[in-house]
Amino acid sequence: MRARIIAIVVFVIAAAGGAAWWWHHGQSNGAGNDVLTLHGNVDIREVDLAFNDSERIDSMLVQEGDRVAKGQLLASLDKRRLQHAVDLAAAQAAAQRAVVARLKAGSRPQEIRQAQAAADAADIEAVNAARSSKRLADLVKQKLVPQEQADNARAAADAAAAQARAAKETLRLVQLGPRKEDIAAAEAQLQAAEAQLALAQRQLADADLIAPAAGIIEQRLLEPGDMASPQRAAFTLALTDPLWVRAYVGEQDLGRIHPGMAAEVHTDSYPGKSYDGWIGFISPSAEFTPKSVETKEVRTDLVYQVRIFVCDAQNQLRLGMPATVSVLLTQPQGTVTAHRCGSR
């Protein structure tokens, strides 16, 4: 009799345990009803903002917790050295630009007339030297002057003739103007100078740290007077758009949801308040249950990561905040709704 009573008690306890497990399992994953309940944490992206150059910080314009807009000025470096580099590069580019313009313009009329006059003078000098040489040669035949004097006059005449030919060639070069190869070389040097100027201007612009997107300053890591560098972040920016809840769904519920399905998000911090959201991403690959939600019973289960994007116009959700997501499973399947915060 006693054994029979013990058997009945054991059966009742086992049945109660099975019912409790079934109820808890159904409540935790939404099986057996029209609502799937998921549990996760609020997640955002973070960006470490650093300057592109190494220089002393001149000013830091925002504090931790400040909301910033895309394109907003956050901090600036000391720009004196960078401004001098821009001025130097600009002067060098201007000088080379003048060289290219001079070569393309060719010879001026005054230069051509000057070369013509030099050629004419050289011709006259050559003619005069030839006449003097001829006279001395006649006097040598009459033995009135020594042969050496006549030879010197002949050499002077030949030199004058050569100078006359050189002056004529110079005149031709002046008339033709610069060679196209010289112009091309000068233009290449101008391009290098302009590239150096553009680089200096870019470095000067990079002395201003600009917000790449809207968000909230999470950390201010440097102060005015600190030496900034590309390897040292000045701020950590939390990107509040998009904002999502990272949750995990088991394989048995994977086929019941799809991207675009509307969802409601609830948090313990604001009881009774719901946030509009939608399923924006379902991982294509499975993973073991994350340690943050791991229990002895489910630590070997495979789950899929799900991101539920959330609209938070009042900026109430915070990174890591626990959240509960409810997804109505009777929504039409195969339709993807392009949700946007403020448009629903």
DSSP helix/strand/coil, 344: coil
Token pair for 97: 């630009």
Phi-psi category of 165—alpha, beta or left, where left has phi over 0 and alpha has psi -120 to 50?
A: alpha
Strand partners, 288: 302
Q: How far, in Å, CA of 43 to CA of 29, rounded? A: 21
Q: How far, in Å, CA of 235 to CA of 47, rounded? A: 8
Confidence of residue 309 (pLDDT cuts 50, 70, 90): very high
Query: How confident is the model over 20-36, as a mean pLDDT?
Result: 53
- CB contact at 8 A, 234 and 209: yes
Torsion of CA 24, 28, 31, 35, to 10 degrees: 130
Amino acid 290: pLDDT: 60
Q: How far, in Å, CA of 302 to CA of 259, rounded? A: 20
In tens, the pLDDT along 45-88 reads 899 999 999 999 999 999 999 999 999 999 999 999 999 999 99
Share of the chain above pLDDT 90, in %: 38
List, in order, residues 6 or more apart from 70 with CB less than 8 Å away.
211, 212, 213, 214
Side-chain-side CA neighbours of 184 within 13 Å: the count stands at 3
- CB contact at 8 A, 60 and 233: no
Mapped to the 3 state alphabet, what secondary structure does 138-176 carry?
Answer: HHHHCCCCCHHHHHHHHHHHHHHHHHHHHHHHHHHHHHH
In tens, the pLDDT along 101-144 reads 888 776 667 776 777 778 777 777 877 777 777 777 777 677 77
